Amino acid sequence: MCMTSAPLSFRPEELLADVIARLIGDVRHVAVGNASPIPATAALLARERGNGRPYVSLLGSPQHTFWTDGGRELFDCAGQGRIDVFFLSGGQIDGHGNINLVSIGDYAHPKVRFPGSYGSAHLYYVVPKVILFRTEHSRRTLVPDVDFISAPGANAPNVYRPGGPIALVTNRCLFSFANGRFTLDSVHPGHSVADVVENTGFDFDRPAHVPDTEPPSPTTLKLLRETVAPQLAEVYPQFALQVFGVGQSALTG
């Protein structure tokens, strides 16, 4: 990889949003969980590029969700096959695509306890494209085997599983996921394959030449900063201000 010493003309969040928007692709409905500003940015970017498609649900925000059937509707909707893309993360993620949102150490006497599995043990199975997103790319987070499987990356062929992971996006790189293994697809500008290998606890495949992650184009940056950022500010005002310098008042004031 060719390191550039010139300062980047975009912020890391913009790169990640662009990467994720490409992963989303041409689908009907993307749902984004609470406290996920970068996936939310990506979903809104995909919607702008698709002229209103996909439909985007931002779960933290009553204004950006249509639910009228209570807390179960998200899961029912996914079970119906009406959510095409969702995002999950993990205190640990392993090389088999297993995610751990529960604990480190022995389950009965954990060293570290995380909040819990949330809806992962259902959504990971039924949403066709689950994008794993964890900015911290380290041997602490990306491990050979998780201590607790909140939801597995893959199942035996007879298990009903229309969904599962398609990729893992970190602050360093993009992995794709297929056949129970990750493949290094590209390394973000400012990072190297050696960095990725050193900081990844699990084995992964990689081609002889790993490309740089394509930086966001001027068109994309313009779209992000001028069109997406004001929409984002309604839900993530602090993030929008910090990353894009856009305040909520631009829209609502």
Partner 1 sequence: MFQAAKSLDDALSAIADGCMLVVPREVAGVPMHATRALIRRGVKRLHLVALPTSSLQADMLIGAGCVETLETSAVSLGEFGPAPRFTAALTVGTIKMKDATCPALHTALQAAEKGVPFMPLRGLIGSDVLKYRNDWKVIDNPFGNDDPIVLLPAIKPDVALIHAAMADRFGNVWIGRQRELATMAHASAKTVATVEKIHDGNLLDDPVLAAGTLPGFYVDSVAVCERGAWPLGLPDAYGADAGHLAEYARMAATVEGFAEYLDKYVYDKCAA
The binding site for partner 1 (CB under 8 A) comprises 28-29, 34-35, 55, 62, 66-72, 75-82, 101-103, 107-126, 148-152, 155-156, 158-160
Q: Which is nearer to partner 1, 24 or 174 (CB)?
A: 24
Q: Tell me how far, at minimum, the Cβ of 228 lies from partner 1, in Å.
A: 21
Q: Tokens for 9?
A: 């003309």
Q: What is the CA radius of gyration of the chain?
A: 18
**Counting Cβ atoms within 10 Å, is residue 234 exposed (0-12), middle (13-18) or buried (19+)?**
middle
Q: Which is nearer to partner 1, 158 or 219 (CB)?
A: 158
Taking the C-alpha atoms of residue 202 and residue 207, their distance in angstroms, rounded to an integer, is: 16
Q: Tell me how far, at minimum, the Cβ of 238 lies from partner 1, in Å.
A: 10
CB atoms within 10 A of CB 178: 14
> In the chain, how many H helices and how many E strands?
9, 12
Q: Which amino acid is at 112?
A: V
Q: What is the DSSP string of 120-179?
A: HHHHHHH-SEEEEE-S--STTTEESS-SS-SB-S---TTS--S--EEEEE-SSEEEEEET
Taking the C-alpha atoms of residue 57 and residue 87, their distance in angstroms, rounded to an integer, is: 12
Phi, psi dihedrals of residue 50, rounded to the nearest 5°: -95, 15
Q: Which is nearer to partner 1, 113 or 222 (CB)?
A: 113
Q: Tell me how far, at minimum, the Cβ of 244 lies from partner 1, in Å.
A: 19
Q: Which is nearer to partner 1, 10 or 125 (CB)?
A: 125
112: helix, coil or strand? strand
Cβ pair 100, 149 in contact under 8 A: yes
Q: Which is nearer to partner 1, 154 or 221 (CB)?
A: 154
Q: Tell me how far, at minimum, the Cβ of 46 lies from partner 1, in Å.
A: 15
Q: Tell me how far, at minimum, the Cβ of 164 lies from partner 1, in Å.
A: 11
Q: Which is nearer to partner 1, 82 or 222 (CB)?
A: 82
Q: Which is nearer to partner 1, 123 or 243 (CB)?
A: 123
Q: Tell me how far, at minimum, the Cβ of 166 lies from partner 1, in Å.
A: 17
Q: Tell me how far, at minimum, the Cβ of 141 lies from partner 1, in Å.
A: 16
- Pairing of β 103-106 and β 173-178: unpaired
